[in-house]
Amino acid sequence: MKKIAIEPLQQPDRIINYWKKEKLVVAFIIVFGLGFNIATVLGPIYQGKLIDALLRGYGMHTVSKLAVTFILLISAIQFMRYLKRFYIRRFANKTIATMRLMIYNNIIGKSYVDLINENTGDLMTRALSDVDLCVEGMRKFTTEIFDTGVLMASYFVSMLYYDVKITILGALFIPAAMMIAEKLKNIIYKYSIAYRSKSSVITGMTFDYIENAMLYRISGLEVQAADKYSLELDDLQNKAIKANIFENAMQPIYNVIAMLGVIIVIYWGGTKVIEGGWSVGNFSTYMIMFAALATKASKAAKLFNSVQKSQISWQRIKPYLGEYKSKDPVPNFDEDHTDLVIENLRFQYPEGKEDIISNISLSARQGEIIGVTGPIASGKTALGQALLGLSPYLGSIRIDGKELRDYSEYERSQMISYLGHSPQLLSDTIYNNITLGGDEDITAVLQDVCFEEDLGAMPDGADTLVGSSGIRLSGGQQARIGLARTL
């Protein structure tokens, strides 16, 4: 299989751009979509011809010729349908990948301050099920422009050709069914929003219970947690039922409404056959087309809802779609010389209100090692955080005479190395956790942090997987991997 590139998109917050991006695929969809749906009317027409052939008592030869033509025709039509379906699905899959990439790029490109306020469960819901729902709506919309729009138009035109009066009166109820569906859409919309946001809450809770499963267990609170979960699930269930019931159950009702005209079709159509205006085959063709039209109309509600749901999801992911960002990896600082001057530094945590640090001044020269100590909650960690430059600070931190906040994020990351209380390991191999994508030799650095002995005991060596947050390693091992990475 050809390797498919998943590439960024410009102006990802405009939904139309996702179609524009896949020009070739969309072109195929249009060609095959039009071809299939216009040709589809030939199916019922030929079916009617077959019945007429029987009625008129044609010979075996003629009937079999007709039958073979019928099969070939249907095969050709269905082949176009296959191509249309295939390309629409490809479009959807590519769009899912593109959207997720753009969302991820946006998340990861956000500032540290913005990110610590994000809710993990909520983001996961957005990047996964919201993207799925949104793209499903886009897919259905694309499909139905042809399968509903074009198809209904071709049926309607063919039916007009058969009989103008019957068609106009018989099809009168079809728009009525669609209008009711359109009205109900707003109620469904309201319930869907409530359901989606509750769903996010549940995901967040689930994440909390799994992440802290050990804590709940040794405290004997796992049953209580499950009970609380149960209450929330009941609420979710009610919201889900409300959101889904109108959508799933109303279609048969729409179908009945759209089919109300069938009494006109049968009576007048039948009379027309009796009076010799139509053949029985014509009647049969017309009935099939009428029923198909009504069915399509009743499914239009599903289309509205799907598009609407897709809009809800689109609104939820849109804030996370921005221009593709990448860091400019051009360091613009003096690597051989560093001095640090802090003056009147004031700092608070992004989510806090009080200053953790106020009025600190110090200067450091090249080669100095400075230890910071003090009682707990006196701002030691905060000082480290301030010096990382990821959060805003007041006062001045100058490195080589330039304000820290004026350096680019990339430059700061190249100048400053940080190892926090938690080593922040990824669920990857030891090697990848240290190099983070580089291809350096890590033997020396592992020696520096006294890890060779530990490594020797692991059958997979540096390719050992560390587990979620490094859970398969001991606390000390995690810390040393973190240190090795920092070095």
Among 34, 160, 266, 364, binds other proteins (CB under 8 A): 266
Q: Nearest to residue 388, comparing CAs of 349, 358, 416?
A: 416
Nearer residue to other proteins within complex by CB, 7 or 343: 7
Query: Minimum distance from CB of 364 to other proteins (Å)?
Result: 19
3-state secondary structure (DSSP) of residue 248: helix
Q: How far apart are CA 150 and CA 153, in angstroms?
A: 5
Query: Minimum distance from CB of 325 to other proteins (Å)?
Result: 8
Beta sheet of 340-347, edge-to-edge order: 357-364, 340-347, 394-399, 402-403
Q: Which residues, 193 to 232, sit near other proteins by CB under 8 A?
A: 199, 202-226, 228-230
DSSP state letters, 259-288: HTTHHHHHHHHHHHHHTTSS-HHHHHHHHH
Query: Minimum distance from CB of 414 to other proteins (Å)?
Result: 7
Among 11, 315, 447, 474, binds other proteins (CB under 8 A): 474
Q: How far apart are CA 302 and CA 61, in angstroms?
A: 45
Residues in contact with 15: Cβ distance below 8 Å, sequence separation at least 6, in sequence order: 138, 314
Q: Which residues, 321 to 380, sit near other proteins by CB under 8 A?
A: 326-327, 329, 349-352, 373-380
Query: Minimum distance from CB of 324 to other proteins (Å)?
Result: 10
With CB under 8 A, what is the number of residues at the site for other proteins? 169
Residue 18 engages other proteins in binding (rule: CB under 8 A): no
3-state secondary structure (DSSP) of residue 126: helix
For other proteins, what does the binding mask look like between residues 400 and 439, x meaning CB under 8 A?
---------xx--xx-xxx-xxx-xxxx--------xx--
Q: Which residues, 134 to 153, sit near other proteins by CB under 8 A?
A: none
Burial (Cβ within 10 Å: 0-12, 13-18, ≥19) of residue 1 = exposed
Q: How far apart are CA 460 and CA 430, in angstroms?
A: 10
Residue 165 engages other proteins in binding (rule: CB under 8 A): no
Query: Minimum distance from CB of 85 to other proteins (Å)?
Result: 4
Q: How far apart are CA 63 and CA 74, in angstroms?
A: 16
Q: Which residues, 92 to 131, sit near other proteins by CB under 8 A?
A: 93-94, 96-97, 100-101, 104-105, 107-109, 112, 115-118, 120-121, 123-125, 127-129
Among 338, 381, 396, 429, binds other proteins (CB under 8 A): 381
Query: Minimum distance from CB of 396 to other proteins (Å)?
Result: 21
Q: Which residues, 280 to 309, sit near other proteins by CB under 8 A?
A: 280, 283-284, 287
Nearer residue to other proteins within complex by CB, 161 or 418: 418
Q: How far apart are CA 207 and CA 196, in angstroms?
A: 17
Nearer residue to other proteins within complex by CB, 212 or 359: 212
Q: Which residues, 40 to 99, sit near other proteins by CB under 8 A?
A: 43, 47, 50-51, 53-55, 57-60, 63-64, 67-68, 70-71, 74-75, 78-79, 81-83, 85-86, 89-90, 93-94, 96-97
**Please, which contacts does 332-338 make with residues 24 or more away whose CB atoms are closer than 8 Å?**
332/407, 332/408, 332/411, 333/399, 333/400, 333/402, 333/407, 333/411, 333/414, 333/415, 334/400, 337/366, 337/400, 338/366, 338/399, 338/400, 338/415
Q: Which helix (H) or strand (E) holds 190?
A: helix 173-211
Residues in contact with 206: Cβ distance below 8 Å, sequence separation at least 6, in sequence order: 121, 229
Q: Nearest to residue 430, comparing CAs of 459, 460, 466?
A: 466
Q: Answer positive or negative: Cα dihedral of 452, 454, 459, 463.
A: negative
Which DSSP letter does residue 172 get? T
Please give the distance of CA 276 from its chain centroid, rounded to a whole number.
57
The backbone torsions φ and ψ at residue 345, rounded to the nearest 5 degrees and listed phi first, read: -70, 130
Residue 471 engages other proteins in binding (rule: CB under 8 A): yes
Query: Minimum distance from CB of 384 to other proteins (Å)?
Result: 10
Nearer residue to other proteins within complex by CB, 175 or 476: 476
Query: Minimum distance from CB of 58 to other proteins (Å)?
Result: 7
Q: Under a CB-based contact definition with an 8 Å cutoff, are residues 483 and 430 in contact?
A: no
Query: Minimum distance from CB of 77 to other proteins (Å)?
Result: 8
Query: Minimum distance from CB of 454 to other proteins (Å)?
Result: 5
| β-strand pairing of 394-399 with 402-403 | antiparallel
Q: Nearest to residue 92, comparing CAs of 310, 322, 299?
A: 310
Query: Minimum distance from CB of 450 to other proteins (Å)?
Result: 9
Nearer residue to other proteins within complex by CB, 244 or 311: 244
Which of the stretches 2-10, 20-28, 180-188, 395-403 binds other proteins when contact is defined by CB under 8 A?
Answer: 2-10
Residue 161 engages other proteins in binding (rule: CB under 8 A): no
Which of the stretches 23-31, 183-191, 264-272, 306-314 binds other proteins when contact is defined by CB under 8 A?
Answer: 264-272
Residue 456 engages other proteins in binding (rule: CB under 8 A): no
Which of the stretches 153-161, 183-191, 333-341, 468-476 binds other proteins when contact is defined by CB under 8 A?
Answer: 468-476
Residue 445 engages other proteins in binding (rule: CB under 8 A): no
Q: Under a CB-based contact definition with an 8 Å cutoff, are residues 415 and 456 in contact?
A: no
Query: Minimum distance from CB of 246 to other proteins (Å)?
Result: 9
Nearer residue to other proteins within complex by CB, 370 or 457: 457
